[in-house]
Amino acid sequence: MNKKIQLLDLGQKDYKETWEYQEDLFKDILDLKIRNRREELELETPNYFLFVEHPHVYTLGKSGDLSNLLLSEKQLEDKGATFYKINRGGDITYHGPGQIVGYPILDLENFFTDIHKYLRFLEEVFIRVLADYGLTGTRSEGETGVWLGVGTPFARKICALGVRASRWVTMHGFALNVNSDLGYFDNIIPCGIRGKAVTSLNVELGIEEVDVAEVKEKIKKHFTELFESQFVAFQKETV
């Protein structure tokens, strides 16, 4: 089992370009797994992890409800935002500047074959990151992601998750609000959940800006601990 994960920080990149790149990496792993099975080989499958920050974009999961987008095409254009229907689970969400987005493209057969466990591990990464900042992040029953104030009238989501998996290979991932402009969430019903707010790390800490590089280091630390893995330099040709 290969527990090394090739790490690449794409900086700020268009959502559609990044999605296509994810698909390429995802397909490469699937193709190798199919070849292994067909030819009775045991070639090592790679794992990837992409960090990225997207320009303003709304994405709707395959089971999502388009009515949860509260903007017309013209209003989207006026806000400098784009919109895509995509092939992950979950409903509608927003990505934009000040948010850390991560796409683990893993062959779970290198780790464990349990999608439920995978999602819980992703949540646990951010529960631990928030704890590093003195915040109590928790799960909310039936609502994937990480929340603050669950069980109170002030429940608010700080980290969204949405994944796709095929033959135990994952893509898509998480979005953690760090220094996000929360006004953009007013244009959707986030994740299709009414009556609950969205928050950002800088808001919770009462400061203007959180060090994004520091947060990424904490994510990497907790991710590798939970997945008993190691990040290594990215080896595949990048976009």
Residues taking part in catalysis: 191
**Burial of 52 by CB count in 10 Å (0-12 exposed, 13-18 middle, 19+ buried)?**
buried
Question: Annotated binding residue at 186?
Answer: no
Q: Is 107 annotated as a binding residue?
A: no
14 is in an annotated binding site: no
64 is in an annotated binding site: no
In single-letter form, the type of residue at position 187 comes to N
Do the beta carbons of residue 164 and residue 95 sit within 8 Å? Answer: no
Any binding-site annotation on 48?
A: no
94 is in an annotated binding site: yes
Contacts of 22 (CB under 8 A, 6+ apart): 50, 103, 105, 171, 172
95 marked as binding residue = yes
Q: Which residue carries 């039936």 as its tokens? A: 142
Residue type, position 171, single letter: M
Scan for tokens 């797994």, then name that residue.
33
49 labeled part of a ligand binding site: no
Query: Is-contact 125 173, C-beta < 8 A?
Result: no
* 195 among annotated binding-site residues: no
Largest CA distance in the chain: 57
Can you say which residues are annotated as belonging to the binding site? 88-95, 160-162, 173-175
Can you say which residues are annotated as belonging to the binding site for substrate? 88-95, 160-162, 173-175
